[in-house]
Structure 1
């Protein structure tokens, strides 16, 4: 079995132990192939049984090369769309896009908009935009909901996560610089950063999957009250080092430094991460909040729940299975 299959079986066992009446079947496949690379006999067996299909498979990497991102995110989604069309009993197709399909567009970004930006910050954004276009085209024929999450972090109550990417890159930075007399701010950002805990994404998306009002909608699962980049960074530094940042490293210097592979590997930070520190955009969540309030589902505050995130990070920072390979 592949590493991913072994992990899947491990997760299955955890769920079944917690919920003994739950039935889970793992089917290995490849979304870039027809019928998702699943054996024909298995396909014939499962097609009539599928009522809700969740499409979360993607390359989640800001530094991914374009050809790989296109094959998985765009071509893979095309293959999933074709498979979805073959499901006679489908009640909902739940497609996970990203709030960052907006690329370099700034200002208020509405849920109802899917506008090609002048540019994208990386190939992940570009290919997720192209993939969402292809799912958007299905709205007239398939009952679907497009989910656009913000930057996802660990569980708000336990801090548990499966990998240290996104905001964890800054924890890597702080952790590896804490031996210095001071840790500086990076530039002077006036932007906010939209980070949401995984439990919010899970609770919201599972509720939306059976909520009729969500059918045919594109919804931002982003924090309606995001914090400024400076406040988030300041809080991280304080919680990790028990001291506040002092001084400032010019943003241009930081960006130049992370162009050097040795430095970004040493600091554990992907250079593309910096592009989000100066990006001035706000995600409209009007439609999502209107539907989610029926279920009493709200987004936990990032700053208030950050201590649990830090605790989990510090407890597992030496475990390489959590760390992203920086190239």
Structure 2
């Protein structure tokens, strides 16, 4: 029985679909927030998986995950598990992030400690547990005192600390994706944040326009398409990789200016850039015109941060599988087309 949190979210839905295809006789127990129970039923019907899944209305912030008297039976049936449920908003208050990302993860770990048949546990962290660290960030590194850009990063960091503390007792594989965007072939997403804020803002501007360049524009931003993330998770979620951390990141990410050039070219725009320090850019995003563009001030920190994410373990483990992270230049056209057709239809946050 495969136990999973985070359904029917962006990654969770795609992971369930991929797991079902990988193992045609697999059955699922899906911990679902009650407010998403109706949506979850519809998604399972669309995927043709209604007869292979049990919905478990619950809440990771509760010590028993809201399972009540079902808790022991669920734990005893789990053979494979994935924890994706989290709050991903960069502007979350610390208390909210701690309750969901840290305590919620602790409660899932406690359940899995009581799962005698568990063979592998896939935990979705983020590359940005590195916080304000700069330079090369390696997969085997976690502990640091550099601080964090926001409470999302801080709480995901402390959640991964909890996960790694149980490496000796749980067969865990940790995945640290970069900024996840839509499918590299279709552009499909229901998570219009991150770079989509930039795309949305560009579409509101005249074809010939001025735009701020944050810092030098030469620092990289690590974007990864959702299909690469899911394919890599499936390939690497095995007992032999237990105790390993994988950066699901682009080994050759584009710089901020290269990303902007890619997007503006696809939108047939001519842009002149005015360089401003990040602090000034954050202030501009809090003005009336800045708010009209819809770019979250918290996003600015990611456009001038001198960090790169080494993924040697991931690349070595995926060698021979044909799974690799494509270049943004190759999938940006699909991303832009989908944004133009569906932008603004952002799904409700899980928490």
Q: 1:201 to 1:117 in 2, by over 3 A?
A: same
Q: What pairs with 1:151-300 in structure 2 (closer than 5 Å)?
A: 151-177=179-205, 179=206, 181-187=208-214, 188-210=216-238, 212-240=239-267, 242-251=268-277, 252-260=279-287, 262-300=288-326
SS in 1 for 2:175: strand
The separation in 2 between residues aligned to 1:316 and 1:117, in whole angstroms, is 41
**CA 1:318–1:113 in 2, change beyond 3 Å: closer, same or farther?**
closer
Partner residue in 2 for 1:26: 55
The partner residue of 1:111 within 133, 139, 142 is: 139
Q: Secondary structure at the match of 1:141?
A: coil
Q: How far apart in 2 are the matches of 1:162 and 1:10?
A: 16
Does the CA-based 8 Å contact 2:75-2:111 persist in structure 1?
Answer: no
Aligned to 1:14: 46
C-alpha separation between the residues in 2 aligned to 1:198 and 1:243? 27
| Bigger proportion of residues as strand | 2
Match of 1:311 in 2: 337
Deviation at 1:322, TM superposition (A): 4.6
8 Å contact from structure 2 (residues 208, 271) kept in 1: no
| SS of structure 1 residue aligned to 2:308 | strand
Deviation digits for residues 167-194 of structure 1, max 9, x if unmatched?
11111211122x3641424233210110
Cα distance, 1:70–1:263 mapped onto 2, change above 3 Å: farther
Name 1:37's counterpart in structure 2. Answer: 66
Q: Is the 8 A contact 2:200 2:294 kept in 1?
A: yes
- Structure 2 SS opposite 1:246: strand
Aligned to 1:72: 100
What is the RMSD of the two structures over their aligned residues, measured on CA atoms? 1.9
Task: Give the deviation of 1:3 after TM superposition.
Answer: 4.2
Once the two structures are superposed, residues 32-86 of structure 1 have per-residue CA deviations (whole angstroms, 9 ceiling, x without a partner) of 112211131x333322221111011111011111110011011111111111101
> 5+ residue gaps in structure 2?
1-32
Give the 3-state SS of the residue equivalent to 1:34 in structure 2: coil
Cα drift, residue 254 of structure 1: 2.2
Aligned position for 1:48: 76
Answer yes or no: is the 8 Å Cα contact 2:192–2:344 preserved in 1.
Answer: no
Return closer, same or farther for 1:323/1:95 CA change in 2, 3 Å cut-off. Answer: closer
Other structure's SS at 2:91 match: coil
**3-state DSSP of counterpart to 2:272:** coil
**For 1:181 and 1:231, how far apart are their aligned partners in 2?**
18
In 2, the alpha carbon distance for the partners of 1:32 and 1:294 equals 40
Shift of 1:318: 4.3
Shift of the alpha carbon at 1:253? Answer: 3.5
Cα distance between partner residues in 2 of 1:310 and 1:238 = 11
1:100 partnered with 2:133: no
Contact persistence 2:87–2:100 (CA under 8 A): yes
Q: Check whether the contact 1:316–1:322 (CA below 8 A) recurs between aligned residues.
A: no
* Aligned residue pairs, count: 315
